[in-house]
Amino acid sequence: MSKILIRGAQVLGGEVQDVLIDGETIAATARQGEIDWSGTGLSAEGATVIEAEGQILLPGLVDLHTHLREPGREDSETVLTGTRAAASGGYTAVFAMANTHPVADTAGVVEQVWRLGKQSGYCDVQPIGAVTVGLEGKKLAELGAMNDSAAGVTVFSDDGKCVDDAVIMRRALEYVKAFGGVVAQHAQEPRLTEGAQMNEGIVSAELGLGGWPAVAEESIIARDVLLAEHVGSRVHICHLSTAGSVEIVRWAKSRGIDVTAEVTPHHLLLTDELVRSYNPVYKVNPPLRTEKDVLALREALADGTIDIVATDHAPHPHEDKDCEWAAAAMGMVGLETALSVVQQTMVETGLLDWAGVADRMSFAPARIGRATGHGRPVSAGEPANLTLLDPAYRGVVDPAGFASRSRNTPYEGRELPGRVTHTILRGRATVVDGKLA
Amino acid sequence: MMRHLISAADLTRDDAVLILDTAEEMARVADRPIKKLPTLRGRTICNLFFEDSTRTRISFEAAEKRLSADVINFAAKGSSVSKGESLKDTAQTLEAMGVDAVVIRHGASGAPYRLATSGWIDAPVVNAGDGTHQHPTQALLDAFTMRRRLVGRDEGLGKDLNGRRITLVGDVLHSRVARSNVDLLHTLGAEVTLVAPPTLVPVGVETWPCEISYDLDSVLPKSDAVMMLRVQRERMNAAFFPTEREYSRRYGLDGDRMARMPEHAIVMHPGPMVRGMEITAEVADSDRCTVIEQVANGVSIRMAVLYLLLGGNDSAATAPSTTRTEESK
Amino acid sequence: MDAQQYSDDARPVLEAPDIARVLTRIAHEIVERAKGADDVVLLGIPTRGVYLARRLAEKLESITGTKIPVGSLDITMYRDDLRLKPARAIGRTEIPGDGIDGRLVVLVDDVLFSGRTIRAALDALGDIGRPRAVQLAVLVDRGHRELPIRADYVGKNLPTSLRETVKVQLSEEDGRDTVLLGTRTTS
């Protein structure tokens, strides 16, 4: 295997270090200029050198919430294009949601996705299994079989749909304890969101679009943290989007309930005011909320109430967005812009330092998803899953340059800070100088 | 005037008064032996209806024909066509055929806005009702009817509805008529009160420029015009109110309630009326009820809107010159 | 009217007394040619043609002792140059109660120039009724016709160049009676 020497990067935004990668692992790190390999038996000789002055070195990012669309909707994304997009965004591992066609509710489907991930070589793919058969919320899928499969599924979710039956949710929470799994809930009370098109509030009243009340999310979260407490399980809440949800999770954590929560980059930046354009690129589930919610989410991510940032990368073909609002699909691509949005909303606002970003986008998601080999410290002996970014970069988002097969980004034409220059997956560069290797 | 008419909220007071004044002149054409003007000769207007509405469609069609435009009616209702891609395809087809304006009715809120702003089509777009969003020509014809009745046909020229108290009663939540009227009536200086059961008032209504009341009887004596909104029976099944009977009892307009309105006050309805539900036959057929006038006024208003959008050159972004200049005397 | 279009040195070619005098003369001519003006209907073309028509009607009434129907005929919707400008505000069309069928309609306008306004007025008349005959009275004929149209009654023939402007001001609209000849300064 080859060697890579990263010279002069700020590790986790802190100390400037040289990092030597040998094979699949980090061989050594040292304060810049003080490198002394003598006595270690190591040598930087022959290594590819990356001059990383002014750049931030992070552990490879981990996304707990990605839609890769394969099998079934290869017109919007495949495991290959999705993992290329992930690598471009600095990710070394993604968790692929189960709402494919067919649904990933059997060992066969999750193994297929897992294998496709292995073949892609750009990013580790950890399939998420469906909680219920066909995402229908009625009958538990074979959760144990998926865990036992080669894919080793530990995260289960009906994402896209809510496990709204309280009994099914309770059983799922209990059942996965046997193998250390976790249920990731898409919190959306279905009756309260029938015909819902956008956040219910001032803007929906004006635009005449069906309202999606915050309480539809919050009531499910409240129920599920209480269920988790009752049965002594851990529960993960997908894409928190309201200030009220934050309050409930904060309360649950203070009570000692084993709950973790994620927020998407778009909910950290965008508000429902954008819907005034009726441009379906802003149509997403859960919907964009208000400024007040955005600020509460940022604060919660900073103080740890929200554990992680997850992209909810949801590719859709052009025609599913190039239409009237009501007919459009919900979702946004996010893998290739996530880190930039987090830099803008969390780092440049002073809410989070780069070590905090490393925690929210790598350490914590890897821990929640039990992604072995990911979310590890940048130190000798650890797997060489690394992301290098240039925080000084400023660029306008141009979806034409995306590695994803889909272009449904809400950031087109928007200037965002930062750029991933290198992504390294187990010692192999998947992104070099901002381009896919 | 703007290039498109998408929302009543886009109209300034002067825009709105100009449309009402222009409609007053258009109304006079209806009294002539030849009810036709050559103004839009050679222009093609497409009535693109993704949702059934014979009334609105024939009103626009009458207006277009009185202005001598060529009219294409495109009824695109049906599941296969109501999908999004077809709005774009249809728009581009019409564009290729050289349509000069599109009048669109669509079940999805925002579809006319999308049509006007997505780059699918270049022609001016007139919103003939979109989902539960807007129905600006309805609001204009309502305001026109109110101005005629409450201010006067000739006295009203150049005037707005300053200080008039207008009450809208019924399903505000699902009503594009209510939204358009609140916007336009506020712009015209009227004081608007919405009356509905709390279930049929949208969350977020607090920023609207109007009052909200749940009590019809307390509002009636202070109303110069009472507009009854249509209530669909299906709403009952979604638990917006318990029964038709209870709705009528609390929010329906009957003879006794009408008697509590001031002498001069009028009763309006955008039609079609559900007699017995929101309005009794006695009220619907009374002299104070303007439903038939509203229909006639609808043609005048639509003529005015089409003239102002299409009567000049494309750069109609500026206000029309109010005095004639000497050129080509 | 776009004020900048007229130079400051515009000079009056008709003053108030002149305007009154030529209107009186036109009134007499109408009576003369119409042999009594029994069936005359005056239709002014907005804006200033309407005031002139009303003034003419008064004079005709004082000559003949009978009431002369007077109205207005807006021609905006019949113009052939609508597409050259943003949409224009529409003027009032007011046809006297007895209509125009079988009557002698005298169209009244302030300035006769290209003739296009009168062409539009004739089209508009056709949609309203069928007069016995149509005649035209104008305060000023400045020439430069673009259509085969001529006035039956002319207050003043004013040979002009295309670089010149003619502006009629009437007390009802402008606070004073005058006809100004100026030079086009812009556009």
DSSP per residue over C77-134, as a string? GG-S-GGGSSPPPP---B--TT-STTSEEEEEEEEESSSHHHHHHHHHHHHH---SEE
Q: Which residues contact A357 (CB under 8 A, 6 or more apart)?
A: A13, A58, A339, A342, A343, A346, A347
Asked if residue A244 is part of any domain, the answer here is yes
User: Is the preceding peptide bond at C47 cis, omega within 30 degrees of 0?
Assistant: yes
CA B264 to chain A, closest CA, distance in angstroms equals 32
Q: Which chain A residues are closer than 8 Å to B84 by Cβ?
A: 319-320, 322-324, 327-328
Cβ neighbours of B21 in C, within 8 Å: 89-90
Question: Considering the domain boundaries, does residue C30 fall inside one?
Answer: yes
Label residues A379-397 b or e (16+ Cβ within 10 Å = b): ebeebbbbbbbbbebeeeb
With contacts defined as CB-CB under 8 Å, which chain A residues touch B107?
Answer: 326
Q: Please indicate, yes or no, if residue A264 is contained in any of the structural domains.
A: yes
H or E element: which one contains B20?
Answer: helix B13-29
Q: How far apart are CA A198 and CA A154, in angstroms?
A: 32
Question: Where among A340, A369, A398 does a domain terminate?
Answer: A369
Tell me, what CATH number does A119's domain have?
A: 3.20.20.140
Reported as half-sphere exposure (CB side, CA atoms, 13 A), residue A7 has a value of 11
pLDDT value for B277 = 85
Domain B136-290 homologous superfamily, CATH: Aspartate/ornithine carbamoyltransferase (3.40.50.1370)
- Show which residues on chain A lie within 8 Å of chain B, measured between beta carbons: 197, 200-209, 211, 213, 277-279, 319-320, 322-328
Asked if B touches A (at least 3 Cβ pairs < 8 angstroms), the answer reads: yes
Least-confidence region, from A44-48, A117-121, C29-33: A44-48
Residue C78 resides in a domain: yes
Lowest mean pLDDT among A268-282, B63-77, B199-213, B248-262: B63-77
Is A408 in contact with A331 (CB distance < 8 Å)? yes
How far is Cα B156 from Cα B148, in angstroms, rounded to an integer?
A: 7
Q: Picking from A282-286, B72-76, B271-275, B321-325, which range would have the lowest pLDDT averaged per residue?
A: B321-325
The predicted pLDDT at position B16 comes to 97
Residue range of the domain that includes C62: 16-82+92-160
The alpha carbon of residue B34 is apart from the nearest alpha carbon of chain C, in Å, by 5
Q: Which of B4, B7, B111, B2 is nearest to B49 (CA)?
A: B111
Cβ(A265)–Cβ(A341) under 8 Å?
A: yes
Contact A324 B204 (CB under 8 A): no
* pLDDT digits 0-9 by tens, B105-137: 999 999 999 999 988 899 999 999 999 999 999
Q: What is the largest CA-CA distance in chain B?
A: 67
Residues 6+ apart with CB under 8 A from B111: A324, A325, A326, B50, B87, B104, B130, B131
- Once rounded to an integer, what is the mean pLDDT over residues B94-103? 93
The residue-averaged pLDDT of A120-143 equals: 97
C118 in a structural domain:
yes
List C-alpha distances in Å: C55 to A17, A333, B305, B323, C51: 97, 74, 35, 21, 6
Give residue C37's pLDDT. Answer: 79
Instruction: Please indicate, yes or no, if residue A308 is contained in any of the structural domains.
Output: yes
- Residues 48-77 on C with a CB inside 8 Å of B are 74, 77
Range of the domain at A89: 60-369
The tens digit of pLDDT for each residue in A312-356 reads 999 999 999 998 999 999 999 999 999 999 999 999 999 999 999
ipTM of the shown complex: 0.89
Closest chain B C-alpha to C49 CA, distance in angstroms: 12
Could you tell me if A126 and A224 lie in one domain?
A: yes
- Residue of chain B minimizing CA distance to A207: B133
Tokens of B259: 């008697």
| Co-location of A139 and A42 in the same domain | no
- Split at pLDDT 50, 70, 90, the class of A35 is low
Q: Do chains C and A touch (3 or more CB pairs under 8 A)?
A: no
Task: Give pLDDT, residue A171.
Answer: 98
Residue spans per domain, chain B: 8-135+294-310, 136-290
H or E element at residue B58: helix B54-66
Average pLDDT of the segment spanning B289-313: 94
Note the pLDDT of residue B325. 45
> Beta-carbon neighbour count of residue B234 at 10 Å?
8
What CATH number corresponds to the domain at position C129?
Answer: 3.40.50.2020
Chain A adjacent subunits, 3+ CB pairs under 8 A? B
Architecture of the domain whose range is B8-135+294-310: 3-Layer(aba) Sandwich (3.40)
Q: Tell me which of A337, A369, A401 is where a domain ends.
A: A369
For all residues of chain A together, what is the average pLDDT? 95
**Is position A289 within any domain?**
yes
Residues in a beta bridge with A10: A16, A56
Residue B316 has pLDDT above 60, yes or no: no
Assess B203–A contact: CB distance below 8 Å, yes or no.
yes
Same domain (yes/no): A144, A244: yes
Residues A81 and A176 in one domain: yes
Residue with tokens 């927020």: A263
Q: State which of A338, A369, A400 marks the end of a domain.
A: A369
- Res. C1: pLDDT tops 50: no
Residue A119 DSSP symbol: H
- pLDDT digits 0-9 by tens, B30-80: 888 888 999 999 999 999 999 888 999 999 999 999 999 999 998 876 544
What is the domain-level CATH number for residue A404?
2.30.40.10
* pLDDT above 90 as % of chain A: 93
Which letter, b or e, does each residue of A123-162 get, where b requires 16 or more Cβ atoms within 10 Å of its Cβ?
A: bbbbbbbbbbeebebeebbebbebbebebbbbbbbbbbbb
Average pLDDT on C113-130 reads: 94
Least confident segment among A204-218, B196-210, C82-96: C82-96
pLDDT for residue A112: 96
Instruction: Give domain status of residue C156, yes or no.
Output: yes
Q: CA geometry: angle at A103 spanning A282 and A189, to 5°? A: 55
Contact at CB, B203 and A205, closer than 8 angstroms? yes
Identical fold, B8-135+294-310 and B136-290 = yes
Measured between alpha carbons, how far is B104 from B49 in angstroms, rounded to an integer? Answer: 6
| Euclidean distance between CA atoms C102 and C130, whole angstroms | 6
From the candidates A293, A312, A320, A359, give the one annotated as an active-site residue: A312
The total number of structural domains in chain C stands at 1
User: Can A312 be counted among the known catalytic residues?
Assistant: yes
For residue B197, whether the previous peptide bond is cis, meaning omega lies within 30 degrees of 0, is no
Residue A376 lies in a domain: no
Share of chain B above pLDDT 70, in %: 92
Distance (Å) of CA A3 to CA A19, A270, B217: 10, 41, 84
pLDDT at B319 over 70: no
Inform me whether the pLDDT recorded for A260 exceeds 80: yes
Confidence class of residue A265 from pLDDT cuts 50, 70 and 90?
Answer: very high
What is the distance in angstroms between the Cα of A329 and the nearest Cα belonging to chain B?
10
Over 50: is that where the pLDDT of A70 sits? yes
Question: Are chains C and B touching, using the cut-off of 8 Å on CB pairs and a minimum of 3 such pairs?
Answer: yes
Question: B256-295: per-residue pLDDT in tens?
Answer: 999 999 999 999 999 888 888 899 999 999 999 999 999 9
Structurally, how many domains does chain A consist of? Answer: 2
